[in-house]
Amino acid sequence: MLKVDLHCHSNVSDGVLAPAAVAAYARKGGVDAWALTDHDEVGGIPAARAAAREQGMRFVSGVEISVTWANQTVHLVGLQIDETNQQLTEGLAKTRQGRDARGREMAAQLEAAGIPDAYRGALKFVGNPDLLSRTHFARYLVECGACETTNEVFRRYLTEGKPGYVPHRWSSLPDAMGWIRSAGGIPVIAHPGRYKFNQTAEDALFDEFRQLGGNAIEVVTGSHTPDQYAVYAEVARRYGFRASRGTDFHAPGEARVEFDALPPLPANVTPVWHDWF
Ligand code: AMP
Ligand code: MN
Ligand code: MN
Ligand code: MN
């Protein structure tokens, strides 16, 4: 059986390894078919594709788009995209705008909470100045000793109600799905178990996604607990969605699940890649 991993980050967004190094690391973890899905950015794809080929992996070009839906951030993965498509690249450029200003506001809040200089500190961890992310702030807060781990950072800072949280309006779900569709890609709702929706809102998200032509969600992801693998496999069956799988890798040792430890999809779902390879 092919080992497929369709959700990973490089230092082109908030991962720490260059795209080619992520490819090598994934291969070492036994991956046979791989997608790079950086946040709001496709700049790493040419290098990732070349490295995947060198490593003998099948490659899927991808992206993870930040979307605002019902006042929450939802992540939409696009797979099998033509990363040169202009609607997509323009949409992503628009999505990236505002990250820097948001970062400065986050730093101002952190300063008020007793952590000075976090903007400059976060920038030290940035591989792509267009893509300043909360992850970079989290790494800095660990470096400067404010927290022990990035997990602790997201418990105490940078999330709703905590210092350093700056609400942000991303793209809309229909827009992001339109860009993916223009680029010939398949939209996938990333890690649905991570959102703080009640059941009614979650069902409304899946209904709207389906109405917009969506038909895939992540089921087995490093961002789900094992219990959630079963919950979202059932959702996939109920809605007739295909299922995706990926570590959501950001950095060696930082992952909740390493490449070789993520379980396969449950047998009772149709993989999103079932007619790709
Ligand atoms: P941003 O796009 O700048 O809002 O940053 C979002 C990123 O922060 C996600 O893609 C994760 O990599 C990271 N993140 C968010 N929440 C957590 C969390 N609770 N624990 C670890 N990383 C998180
Ligand atoms: Mn991330
Ligand atoms: Mn995500
Ligand atoms: Mn991700």
CA of 1 relative to ligand 1 center, distance in Å = 31
Q: Which ligand is nearest to the CA of 137?
A: 1
Rounded mean pLDDT, 88-99: 98
pLDDT classification of 20: cutoffs 50, 70, 90: very high
Q: Whose CA is nearest to atom 6 of ligand 1?
A: 134
* Residues whose CB is less than 8 angstroms from the CB of residue 238 and which lie 6 or more positions away in sequence, other chains included: none
Integer Cα distance of 181 and 173 in angstroms: 12
Q: What's the mean per-residue pLDDT of the chain?
A: 97
User: Ligand 1: which of 13, 76, 119, 133 to mutate, most ligand atoms within 8 Å of CB?
Assistant: 133
pLDDT score of 206 more than 80 = yes
pLDDT bracket for residue 253 (50, 70, 90): confident
> Is residue 16 over pLDDT 80?
yes
Q: What is the predicted pLDDT for the residue at 256?
A: 80
Q: Are 131 and 146 in contact (CB under 8 A)?
A: no
| Residue with CA at minimum distance from ligand 1 atom 20 | 151
- The pLDDT of residue 255 is 73
Q: How far apart are CA 78 and CA 81, in angstroms?
A: 7
DSSP assignment, residue 103?
A: H
- 74 three-state secondary structure: strand
Q: How far is the CA of 109 from the centre of ligand 3 (A)?
A: 24
State mean pLDDT over 77-100: 98
Query: Which residues line ligand 1 at a C-beta cut-off of 6 Å?
Result: 14, 39, 66, 133-135, 150-151, 154, 250
For residues 79 and 186, what is the distance between their CA atoms, to the nearest angstrom?
Answer: 5
Both tokens assigned to 129? 């100045």
Ligand 4 centroid distance, CA of 192 (Å): 12
Q: What's the pLDDT tens digit per position in 23-72?
A: 999 999 999 999 999 999 999 999 999 999 999 999 999 999 999 999 99
What would the pLDDT profile of 101-138 be if each residue is shown by its tens digit? 999 999 999 999 999 999 999 999 999 999 999 999 99
